[in-house]
Amino acid sequence: MLASFIARKFADRARGLVRGYPSTYIGRRVVLRSRGNLTLGGQTSIGTLVTIDALSRSGVHLGSQVTIDQNAVLRGSGVIRHLGEGIRIGSRTSIGAFNVILGQGGIEIGADCLLGPNVTVVSENHLYTKMGVPIREQGEVRIPTRIGNDVWIGAGVVVLGGSSIGDGAVIAAGAVVRGDIPANAIAGGVPARVLGSRGDA
């Protein structure tokens, strides 16, 4: 098993080299779009079937040693007619399998964060108040979304547009975050509310 793992890593590194990212590990069937707007830090690892579309005003920037697990999607814009702001992810952060991160309004994720599988982070809301007009035709509101440093986000969490999660916070699996979560808080539920603090005895 160890030999098989090492062989896969060599193959991933070779794919990174061939695609112009010599210090990056790139898995099979990875899609990288708008590469002129994409920055990958050293020792970044991108898993199989990941899609990164960096088309946006500020691009998609990954710090050093960022890990993106299989089938994750990072998209800087939703549509070409209205470019999004983009995505910035700090060093040593791990993006889980099947994560969806949509940077229309701008998303910043700090360093040393852990995002479990099936996490969704958005930065845009649809307008819907006009009856008789399809929601898709009523436009959008784009709101920056921020996740601080050293944050652990459990499996299946949804972080809605405009939310801000403070440094060191823990978000329980399945929560829906809407609004602000203080630093070092433990939060959970739908919508998420503070349940305690990491400093509690």
Which residues have a catalytic role annotated?
126
Share of the chain residues as helix, strand and coil, in percent rounded to the nearest 5:
10, 35, 55
Distance of CA 8 to the CA centre of its chain: 24
76-to-9, 52, 90 alpha-carbon distances in Å: 28, 8, 16
The two three-digit tokens of residue 40, written as one number: 């990958």
Residue 36: φ, ψ to 5°? -65, -20
Cβ burial, residue 165 (10 Å; 0-12/13-18/19+): buried
* Nearest CA among 119, 194, 182 for reference residue 148: 182
